[in-house]
Amino acid sequence: MDNKFKVEHAHKLDNPERLEWQNPSKLFPILDAASPESFVEIGVGTGFWALPIAEHYPKCRVTGLDICDEMLAIFKKNAAARKLSNVAAALCDESKTSMPACSADAVLVANVYHELAEPEKMLAEIHRILRPGGALIVVDWKSEETPKGPPLEERVAAFIVKKAMEKTGFSNTETLCNVYPYQHTITGKK
């Protein structure tokens, strides 16, 4: 089964109704603790998460990574429409980025973890690109029936994500259950 998000559904990513139950600004308190000067989003899509972060942190370099050229083109177009000069975009694959080692203060993986064929490889890559003390934030669908999100069989329980983060070197992992109604938010430090 192919559980990858399809580019023909990209318009759904920018649906303003998402802000009611999945507002990126709810991550600002978590990011404030990281004081990011360099932020990376893996699976940036159209920029639903990364662009509000770029606006909120204008001195932070925000890099959106995706496996799809078409998504990156939409992301760049949306960044240009918002007149953001602190945004960059680059292709990546599921377990490798072109980011230098120790180059990011914070990395976000939002609504992507359940799509990864080998999530521990991507977690190891994220660990590589984070600076010491850098923060990883994983937002993904709760492993229970919710009115939004992918089929239940594609979801990954929070404790499994947390265990994989710890296995790949992350410490101070914490599951935040009340940030979003349909997703768990898991944080960890390098």
In a domain, 15, yes or no: no
| Total count of domains within the chain | 1
Q: What is the mean pLDDT of residues 82-105?
A: 96
Q: Is residue 138 part of a domain?
A: yes
**Contact by Cβ (8 Å): 95, 67:** no
Is the predicted pLDDT of residue 3 greater than 80, yes or no? no
Q: Is 4 contained in some domain?
A: no
Answer whether residue 105 is part of any domain.
yes
Q: What is the pTM (predicted TM-score) of this model?
A: 0.93
Q: Between 75 and 18, whose confidence is greater?
A: 75
Across 38-86, where does the E strand assignment appear? Answer: 38-42, 61-66
Q: Is there a domain that residue 13 lies in?
A: no
Give the per-residue pLDDT at 2. Answer: 47
Q: What is the CATH number of the domain that holds 151?
A: 3.40.50.150
Structural domain for 50, as ranges: 22-189
Tell me whether residue 9 is in a domain: no
- CB neighbours (10 Å) of residue 73? 15
Q: Which pLDDT tens digit goes with each residue over 23-67? A: 999 999 999 988 899 999 999 999 999 999 999 999 999 999 999
Say if residue 86's pLDDT is above 70: yes
4: pLDDT strictly greater than 60: no
Question: Is 12 part of a structural domain of the chain?
Answer: no
Name the band, by pLDDT with cuts 50, 70 and 90, for residue 18. confident
What does the mean pLDDT of the chain come to?
Answer: 93
In a domain, 59, yes or no: yes
